[in-house]
A and B are shown apart, each in its own frame.
Chain A
């Protein structure tokens, strides 16, 4: 899968 970039979001 593509990047896993949003872990800093709620």
Chain B
């Protein structure tokens, strides 16, 4: 555990909590892509199946439970509790175009051809692109609430910090995981355009709106 890993995890947790609180406090999930949230719930479910087979640490186990719990709570709020506020008309990204090829890729490129390992690989690949429906939704409506941009910022920051963590681990522990690194780089790149808008607009007190 190094400082980048820890702040990365906390940043990830902050993103998840910000989104839950936003929906809970405003009693609305307007502007939030339910599809992205379903994908994240799928990511956590397929990745953390090792909860059933191996114990790493109390920290590890509890964070996994928190992530999974929050992911399903978010999906429940969007598709059940605050369903009336869900903006489904703008959430039109075709997720099967992500899930099907990624499922195929996880079968072809993995560390070990076993069910748990393939599901872990699937979750790593899927996480790298799971935010696309949300970004697509923002590009479609041309704007995002400021609180939504904070959510996206912490979610992107988390992956950027994980990249630093992997550089650290390569230098000080001497190993690396190619699947995680390639997917992590892809995931971080997807946020670059958003980071630029966040710094130039949101941090200067303006709402994030895209030019028409």
Q: A10 vs B112: C-alpha distance in the bound complex, in angstroms?
A: 19
Residue of A nearest to B111 (CB): A4
What's the interface size class on A, roughly?
Answer: 10 to 19
A-B CB contacts (within 8 Å), total count: 42
Q: Is the interface of B mostly helix, strand, loop or mixed?
A: helix
A3/B9 in contact, CB under 8 A: no
Contact A10 B67, beta carbon cutoff 8 Å: yes
Which chain A residues (1-10) contact chain B, with CB distance < 8 Å?
A: 1-10
Binding site for B on A (CB under 8 A): 1-10
Q: Are A3 and B56 in contact (CB under 8 A)?
A: no
> Are A10 and B9 within 8 A (Cβ)?
yes
Question: How would residues 80 to 118 of chain B score, 1 for a CB under 8 Å from any chain A CB and 0 otherwise?
Answer: 000000000000000000000000000001111000010
**Are A8 and B56 in touch, CB under 8 angstroms?**
yes
